[in-house]
Amino acid sequence: MITVKSIKKEYSKWDWQAGKHVPFTEEMTMFTLTTPGSTYAIAALESGYLCHVWYGRRTDDEDLSYLLRLGENPYTPKVNQRDMGTFMDTTPFEYPVFGTGDYRESAVRICDKNGGTSVDLRYKGYDITDEKPALEQKLEDCTVTLPSTFADKGKSQTLRIYLADAHTGVEAELRYTVFEGSDAIARSAVITNRGDADVDILRAMSAAMDFDSAEYDWHTFNGSWARERILERSPLHHGKQSVDSIKGESSHQSNPFVMLTSHNADERTGEAYGFLLVYSGNFTATAEVTQHKRTRFVMGINDMDFSWRLAPGAAFAVPEALMVYSDRGIGQMSRTFHDVIREHIIRGEYKDKPRPVLINNWEATYFNFDTEKLVSIAEQASKLGIEMLVMDDGWFGHRSSDNSSLGDWYVNEDKIKGGLKALVERVNALGMKFGIWFEPEMISPDSDLYRAHPDWAIQTPGMPLTQSREQYVLDYSRKEVRDCIYSQMRAILDNANIEYIKWDMNRQLTEVCSSKLPADRQRELWHRYVLGVYDLQDRLTRDYPHILLENCSGGGARFDAGMLYYSPQIWCSDDTDAIERLKIQAGTSMCYPASAMGAHVSDCPNHTVGRTTPFATRGDVALVGTFGYELDVTRIPEEDRNAIPAQIEKFKKFNPIVRTGDLYRLWDIFADNTFDAWMFVSKDKGEAIFTAVQVLGRPNCHSRLVRLDGLDPAARYTNDLNSEVHTGAALMNCGFIVDLQGDFRSQTVHFVKAE
């Protein structure tokens, strides 16, 4: 719910020249956004300054203006012009600008026709609608719809606040959306040049927030290839703490999701603020503790090496950010994000649909496969209940390793004898679906496409091109490049019954320069590249709505909400080891739902870490995700192969709860590496799936007592482990005994509400 109220307050200020208190009034417009558990308040002052008032626990009070403390020096712009610089550097601005006295992190910085970078945005007006508008970026040759939340008409409200700068003619439209029944708030902005000369946007953040305290912990999700989204937590300190990416994607090393929490916050208690950027390129998130021990937070496109030229009349769409507040711990914040992503980000046929159990041939064969090998895998897999075969890298051009043929998306018939259509028909005849791997954003130096169009690779003239995995990056800012790749993809997709695509991206951007952009607009390429990716994935999902798209970037380097707008799932990490996956999946689950996490059972010793774990444990860990197999089912031990039908049966039984229910993390794997436990509870609290993994055994008292969560305390639950019946209150307050002996052991228990 969004309310607007006009407020007039009487204040007094000590006048040093007069030697007495001077009365004054302040008129303002108060905007209050109310969700089931939070309140967000903004005030437009009489001077035109837009101030952040409050974000936190729900208040049901439409006049929180006292929190601005306008009667205190220096919060008096109306009567204290001589100290405006001091006012600017301490006021909690809603969308802070650069260059007029606020020396903290800014949300927007613009270069005018004279080279000046000062901007002064003042309030003009507002409107409220009962729908969620799309976020569109108009380019020279097309209009790209940026990924953002959506909602049925009447299921959300959107507040638009309009700001303007008289000096440059720049206007900013700030957008805020609240959703029916959700504690999530979506924020974005559109910056328009209403002046008569070009301006350059040098910074445009998606969210800015001023907190009245610095007593918070800063949580980021960092790592590397095969070690993504590992939680790091530290208390805020004076100065700036930040996390970012300048790789052209959200990256293995960082993620565009961060949290600020109270020092005492854990899964069940304390305050938690989560911020998620709905974007897949360079980003930054910074928390700055200021001179007065307050905190300013900003998040958006990384302004390192970024600018965007705005001609008169042109507009720039700032990517959306999602914010969630919880006063019931980190777990409740996570569940809110899970719901809003499942309901308002993920689209398409598979939005609410079970995903097929697939087997991917990558770790089974790498590049060493042909038609007969793939069919042999499919024949065995189909007998075990696996529903889809995915043909990974190596089927196109003359590719027999990772050093050629990217960009040549035609079938290598030396491998795929008889052609793709014949292979797919043989797989379909076994009762299985067929999927295929593409890396559409890349080009190999050894490819027909590169020999024909070397300028299509992103490159700086006169500099050697940096190779990574012996490949370059295509210039997706150019529509003719995207059109060429898409025409090749369409020829493949129209030739055979393909029902799944794994879209990969295996390197980052370097020498970022386009042969088509003028010199003074080259710094737009980082963002134009991402818009090009969005354009092509949008075309693909619209033209082939029945195809299940899974994004991937060397594993989890582009696991972000921007990608989830096009694909309902993302390959979580190239590290498929069950023990490594505990931290990877726990960190990912802090924001992203299990339904989005690509997770497979792989062979042992594991190809990444060399560890051998029980087949049952690998299956239990992969249940927290889309579930599938990454192995040669014709060569694994017979005992493991015979276990597959029961694993698939378990997945199909439990996946509706995992896919749509509420996740409760019951153990802190980041603090205790020896054990982990979690559970999923159905929305009606009628069923729950509990899983525990013992990483390392311990002597003597080897059992553990784990407090469950999310159950109905008054109901009685029976479990399928020993058929005992206990109240939800007992299981949550006293705990459930887990008795696992040995290393790398797991247990999954089904709880059902008793009649």
Q: Is residue 497 part of a domain?
A: yes
List, for residues 558-592, the tens digit of each pLDDT value.
999 999 999 999 999 999 999 999 999 999 999 99
Q: Is the pLDDT of residue 639 over 60?
A: yes
Mean pLDDT of 79-93: 76
Q: Are residues 292 and 252 both part of a single domain? A: yes
The CATH number for 519's domain is 3.20.20.70
> Cα separation of 684 and 625, whole Å?
21
Q: Is 448 helix (H, G, I), strand (E, B) or coil?
A: helix
- pLDDT, residue 311, reads 97
| DSSP structure string for 270-331 | S-EEEEEE--SSSEEEEEEE-TTS-EEEEEEE--TT--EEE-TT-EEEEEEEEEEEESSHHH
List, for residues 320-341, the tens digit of each pLDDT value.
999 999 999 999 999 999 999 9
> Cα separation of 230 and 616, whole Å?
24
Least confident of 15-29, 177-191, 659-673, 691-705: 15-29
Q: pLDDT grade, residue 78 (50/70/90)? A: low
Q: Is residue 145 part of a domain?
A: yes
| DSSP structure string for 373-422 | HHHHHHHHHHHHT--EEEE-S-SBTT-SSTTS-TT--SB-TTTSTT-HHH
Q: Is residue 119 part of a domain?
A: yes
List, for residues 329-384, the tens digit of each pLDDT value.
999 999 999 999 999 999 999 999 999 999 999 999 999 999 999 999 999 999 99
Measured CA to CA in angstroms, residue 220 lies from 64, 245, 279, 301 at distances of: 31, 13, 17, 17
> Cα separation of 724 and 731, whole Å?
11
Of 344, 367, 393, which marks where a domain is finished? 344
Give the pairing of strands 548-551 and 569-571: parallel
CB 473 within 8 A of CB 442: yes
Q: Is the pLDDT of residue 618 over 70?
A: yes
List, for residues 210-269, the tens digit of each pLDDT value.
999 999 999 999 999 999 999 999 999 999 999 999 999 999 999 999 999 999 999 999
Q: Are residues 262 and 153 both part of a single domain? A: yes
CA 454-458-464 angle, 5° bins: 75
Q: Are residues 160 and 227 both part of a single domain? A: yes
Kind plus residue range of the DSSP H or E element containing 344: helix 329-344
CB 200 within 8 A of CB 155: no
Q: Are residues 370 and 279 both part of a single domain? A: no
- pLDDT, residue 702, reads 79
Q: Are residues 193 and 134 both part of a single domain? A: yes
Q: Are residues 431 and 508 both part of a single domain? A: yes
CB 25 within 8 A of CB 78: no
Tell me how many domains the chain contains.
2
CB 380 within 8 A of CB 432: no
Mean pLDDT of the chain: 95
Q: Is residue 442 part of a domain?
A: yes
Mean pLDDT of 659-667: 98
Q: Are residues 148 and 232 both part of a single domain? A: yes
Please give the positions annotated as active site: 504, 574
Residue 375: domain span: 358-571
Of 528, 548, 571, which marks where a domain is finished? 571
> Cα separation of 406 and 396, whole Å?
8
H-state helical runs in 447-565: 448-452, 479-495, 525-543, 561-564
Q: Are residues 382 and 426 both part of a single domain? A: yes
Q: Are residues 378 and 309 both part of a single domain? A: no
Q: Are residues 190 and 127 both part of a single domain? A: yes
Q: Is residue 176 part of a domain?
A: yes
- pLDDT, residue 241, reads 97
The CATH number for 268's domain is 2.70.98.60
CB 210 within 8 A of CB 68: no
CB 691 within 8 A of CB 746: yes
- pLDDT, residue 37, reads 97
Q: Is 569 helix (H, G, I), strand (E, B) or coil?
A: strand
Q: Is residue 24 part of a domain?
A: no
Read off the pTM. Answer: 0.97
- pLDDT, residue 86, reads 72
List the structure tokens of 32.
């209050």
Of 290, 309, 344, which marks where a domain is finished? 344
CB 357 within 8 A of CB 627: yes
- In this structure, what are the phi and psi dihedrals at residue 255, rounded to the nearest 5 degrees? -140, 140
List, for residues 497-527, the tens digit of each pLDDT value.
999 999 999 999 999 999 999 999 999 999 9
Specify the length of the chain in residues.
Answer: 755
List, for residues 96-119, the tens digit of each pLDDT value.
999 988 999 999 999 999 999 999
CA dihedral 124→129→134→140, nearest 10 degrees, is: -40
Q: Are residues 339 and 451 both part of a single domain? A: no
Q: Is the pLDDT of residue 74 over 50?
A: no
Q: Is residue 392 part of a domain?
A: yes
Q: Is residue 511 part of a domain?
A: yes
Q: Are residues 391 and 321 both part of a single domain? A: no
Mean pLDDT of 593-613: 97
